[in-house]
Amino acid sequence: MTQQKQKAETEIRALIDAWTDAVRRRDYPGIFAHHDQDIVMFDVPPPLQSRGLDEYRKTWDLFFRYHRPSYAFDVEEIAITAGDDVAFAVAVMRCGPPDATFQFRLTIGLRKVDGEWRVTHEHHSVPATE
């Protein structure tokens, strides 16, 4: 792996770690800090698709109705693939109280804008049960 790709993967991992920490603390500015104004997100609960930071914020309002600051919001597995200006990360996440944790899949698409990684796409999903 080239040093540039390794640096990009390290930067993206730090960005994701900061995002998960912000979620655990209910820190809205921290949650949005590295998200693009025009983010597109696909989520598990409705709405199926959110476009832009205003709609993205509304999904967190819904999430925080049920998720308490003491609950988990942790990366269990992650793989990051980065090019010079485009990258993606796939992860298995754990969310919820310790006695009833919920696993979901996360895919994040990023672009490098003005020298910084920006999340332009976020997708949460769960396996089908039937």
DSSP 8-state secondary structure symbol assigned to residue 98: G
Residue 71 has pLDDT above 70, yes or no: yes
pTM for this prediction:
0.91
Residue 60 has pLDDT above 90, yes or no: yes
- Kindly state whether residue 11 falls inside one of the protein's structural domains: yes
Q: What range does the domain containing 14 cover?
A: 3-125
Q: What is the pLDDT of residues 6-48, one digit of tens each?
A: 999 999 999 999 999 999 999 999 999 999 999 999 988 888 8
| Distance between CA atoms of residues 73 and 51, nearest Å | 23
Q: What is the pLDDT of residues 79-109, one digit of tens each?
A: 999 999 999 999 999 998 878 778 999 999 9
- Kindly state whether residue 121 falls inside one of the protein's structural domains: yes
**Total of domains in the chain:** 1
The domain spanning residue 88 has which CATH number? Answer: 3.10.450.50
- Kindly state whether residue 31 falls inside one of the protein's structural domains: yes
> Rounded to a whole number, what is the distance in angstroms from the first to the last CA of the chain?
40
Q: Tokens 């994701």 map to which residue?
A: 16
- Kindly state whether residue 130 falls inside one of the protein's structural domains: no
